[in-house]
Amino acid sequence: MKAVASNPRNLLTSLVLVFPLLLVYQLGVLFTLPMLNGADFVTTFLFRQLALTRLQYLGFVGGGVLLFAIAVGILQRKQRFNASVIAPVLLESTIYALTMGSLIVLLMTKVLGISPRLAVGLEQQGMLSRLVMSIGAGVYEETVFRLGLLTGLTVLFDKVMGLGRWVAVLGAFLLSSAAFSAMHHIPPYGEPFGLGVFTFRCLAGVFFGLLYSLRGFAVAVYTHALYDIYVLLVR
């Protein structure tokens, strides 16, 4: 299966695959407020700075759905949605989500010599809150830290600062992964800092970055969301 998002030619397929998760999260937060994903700057701004009512917020979501439909219509003029990738993306993402934690623990214990602590959080929240936050993590954290920060830092280091491709990629991976891990320790919902959990999330950030770079944005999003769902709701 070809990467479905990192290649601009697959933008339509990527949008169609990821948008359902985004929509579920955006509607789900109505039942989790004031809890929002830490990387969800848009919804945070709408509720905490603009103080939208729930009805106004639903109007905003409806506008987002309309814009999505328009974008799909425009993209369909040059691209074709490949429905055949849906099942492979879900299967591949599920495999990654179920094996990622064990691989990171193995690396930490056998190579780095660091006692791992699995990144969980939200243990005191209800099932619905954990489900919604898991989906939100997949969408927003991959958008901010992989699609945005990882890509942006790579371009900055390579094209602007001229550090060379491999140095740029390595630096971008390390910084974006560290930022991703650090974000989970920010109040009010962040957990206390610990070397084990911070390292675990850094390595998870590298893992998601590799998926984004090699398998595409949609695979990274679904792997992240499914991993959080597995850890917070199933395990």
Tell me the pLDDT tens digit for each residue of 36-58: 888 899 999 999 899 999 999 99
Q: Which residue has the higher pLDDT, 233 or 52?
A: 52
Of the pLDDT bands very low, low, confident and very high (cuts 50, 70, 90), residue 93 is very high
Q: Is the pLDDT of residue 115 over 60?
A: yes
How many angstroms separate the CA atoms of 221 and 225, rounded? 6
Burial class (CB in 10 A: 0-12, 13-18, 19+), 53: exposed
Question: What percentage of the chain has pLDDT greater than the value 70?
Answer: 92
> How confident is the model at residue 81, as a pLDDT?
82
How many angstroms separate the CA atoms of 16 and 12, rounded? 6
Question: What percentage of the chain has pLDDT greater than the value 90?
Answer: 63
* Closest listed residue to residue 202, CA positions, set 87, 128, 134, 114: 114
How many angstroms separate the CA atoms of 137 and 133, rounded? 6
Predicted TM-score (pTM) of this structure? 0.91
> How confident is the model at residue 121, as a pLDDT?
61
Q: Is the dihedral of CA 198, 21, 43, 216 positive or negative?
A: positive
Residue 64 CB contacts under 8 Å (≥ 6 apart), including other chains = 26
